[in-house]
Amino acid sequence: MRSLILPAFAAAILAGSAAPAMAEVAPSVVVSYKDLNLATPEGRQELETRISAAVNTVCARPTRSSVRAGQQWVECRKVAENEAFSQADQVLAMNDSIQVASAD
């Protein structure tokens, strides 16, 4: 399966204490890239676009207006983006290291 799993740590970040947060399941989104050619700039750009959309899904903008809610939203996005782009870097590194040999 060629996809990334983008976890969000929103439940832990948005909860006031660690104990209740651990009981909640953090949302996640699977970002598929099986239809993309990651050897091209267009394919890599589309993967970045999909990751950004997934981050928007798992780290929804807060509905209440407060400094704390805004800070938690920014932190959620930072953590989710770092995790997703780390996974993407690993995938891209694997694609860059594929070698094709002749049958001779």
Name the domain count of the chain. Answer: 1
Q: Tell me the DSSP string of 57-78.
A: HHSPPPSS--HHHHHHHHHHHH
Taking only the tens place, the pLDDT of each residue in 73-94 is: 999 999 999 999 888 888 888 7
Question: Is residue 77 situated within a structural domain?
Answer: yes
Is 103 a domain residue?
no
Q: Given the structure tokens 């782009």, which residue do they identify?
A: 85
- Judged against a pLDDT cut of 80, whether residue 43 lies above it is answered with yes
User: Does residue 20 fall inside a structural domain?
Assistant: yes
The helix (run of H) or strand (run of E) holding residue 82 is helix 67-96
The DSSP element (H or E) to which 32 belongs, if any, is strand 28-32
Q: Is residue 81 part of a domain?
A: yes
**Domain carrying residue 52:** 3-96
Give the whole-angstrom CA distance, residue 7 versus residue 17: 20
Q: What is the pTM of this model?
A: 0.68
C-beta separation of 56 from 27 below 8 A: no
Residues 3-36 pLDDT 10s: 666 565 433 333 343 444 455 677 888 898 889 9
